[in-house]
Amino acid sequence: MYDVVLLSMAEPEGGCCGSDGCGDGHSDAPRPRVPVLHCADALRAAGARVDTVVACSDTEIDEVLSRLDGPPREDGLTWPDADGKTRLVIAVTDDGQLRHVLRRLVRRYAPAPSKRPAELPAGRTVPDLPALAVLPIDAAAVDFAAQLGLPREPAAVAAAVLGDRARRLDLLRHDGGSVTLDGVLLAGSTEDGQPVQWAGRVEVDDAVLTDGAEPLLAVAVANGSGATLLDGLPLLTAVDPADGVIDVAVAVPVRHKPLFGAPRLRIEVRRARGRAVSVTPRDTQVPFADDGVSGELTRKRSWWVEPAAWAVYTG
């Protein structure tokens, strides 16, 4: 039977006592949430050995991930154990928390370019990352796990992580050092919700979707379908998170002068697919949401796809 670690991130009000977390037995140590406890009960009832960890820091996340390491290698690389008996469940309140753990996995297992081993899959910078199960804290949330049709109830998640069915998925990496699971939407709006035009150059492989000389309303860089809507307008459809390519769309406002009546503004959507995409903003700051996490792009950023790099237990 497997050892299973149930990992969740502490909320700001959860009682963490510093950047390195709380010591054992501390009265303010954060406690697992109810869905995590129910999942742990289901796992123990199935015979698994269970450890629940509420992480307050990257150090604590990394300690959990170290349990997935393989035996020492002659080349000194830290590598996941393909035959390990430890399995991981990540309890998340949003896609940003899931992305955070995947980012730590990539940091742990991605070798330096100068130390690339022969067994690294072609076109990849990371090995096959260990499969994991996702336990949404909000069972009704519309998130990446819902897109994938993953089990959501604690007992179903427990059954999935103890099973042998896993689905491998693409992972987007970018030159800012992070990862994207679902997608990025670069778009701004005013306080009353009106879109803000901006300019930037967008390239997908060798194709130029816009050269930066025209206004844009949005750019979608997608692995899934969660970041592809602009005020109800679908910028991309039928996005497959396991097809080995990135889907990209740009929304361009075009003024249309009908034969009769006043000029109207319509939105032209240009689409492309490829292995890599770069966005170079001409404006100072372009707001974006990456897996639901907000930020501002101030300089060129490039994303590339890591085909089938990570995996989820599907039940």
Task: Identify the bridge partners of residue 92 per DSSP, sorted by sequence position.
Answer: 136
Q: Which of 106-120, 223-237, 250-264 has the lowest mean pLDDT?
A: 250-264
Instruction: Characterize the bridge pairing of strands 132-136 and 86-92.
Output: parallel
Confidence (pLDDT) at 232 = 85
Q: Is the pLDDT assigned to residue 23 strictly greater than 50?
A: no
Helix ranges (H only) for 110-176 are 144-148, 154-161
Main-chain phi, psi angles of 235, to 5 degrees: -75, -30
State the DSSP code for 269: E
DSSP 197-240: -B-EEEEETTEEEEESSS-BSEEEEESSSTT-EETTEES--S--
- 66, 80 contact by CB (below 8 A): no
Q: What does R_g of the chain's alpha carbons equal in angstroms?
A: 21
Q: Is the pLDDT assigned to residue 253 strictly greater than 50?
A: yes
Residue position matching structure tokens 């194709």: 207
Q: Is the pLDDT assigned to residue 19 strictly greater than 50?
A: no
Instruction: Characterize the bridge pairing of strands 200-204 and 276-281.
Output: antiparallel
Confidence (pLDDT) at 142 = 83
- 126, 172 contact by CB (below 8 A): no
Confidence (pLDDT) at 126 = 97
What is the average pLDDT value for the chain, to the nearest integer?
91
Pull the structure tokens for residue 121. Answer: 């899959």
To the question of pTM greater than 0.75 for the whole model, the response is: yes
Three-state secondary-structure class, residue 54:
strand
Query: Could you give the CA distance from residue 223 to residue 243 in angstroms, rounded to a whole number?
Result: 9
35-65 pLDDT, tens digit each: 999 999 999 999 999 999 999 999 999 999 9
- 175, 183 contact by CB (below 8 A): no
Confidence (pLDDT) at 26 = 46
Question: Residue 54: CB partners within 8 Å, gap ≥ 6?
Answer: 8, 9, 10, 14, 29, 30, 31, 32
What count of Cα atoms within 13 Å lies in the side-chain half-sphere of residue 82?
Answer: 3
Number of Cβ atoms within 10 Å of the Cβ of 284: 10
What count of Cα atoms within 13 Å lies in the side-chain half-sphere of residue 73?
Answer: 14
Report the percentage of the chain scoring pLDDT > 90.
Answer: 77
Q: Is the pLDDT assigned to residue 208 strictly greater than 80?
A: yes
Pull the structure tokens for residue 77. Answer: 């690389």
Residue position matching structure tokens 């005020």: 231
Q: Is the pLDDT assigned to residue 289 strictly greater than 90?
A: yes
149-175 pLDDT, tens digit each: 999 999 999 999 999 999 999 999 999
Confidence (pLDDT) at 262 = 64
115-139 pLDDT, tens digit each: 999 999 989 999 999 999 999 999 8
- 301, 137 contact by CB (below 8 A): no
Confidence (pLDDT) at 24 = 45
Q: How far apart are the first and last CA of the chain?
A: 17
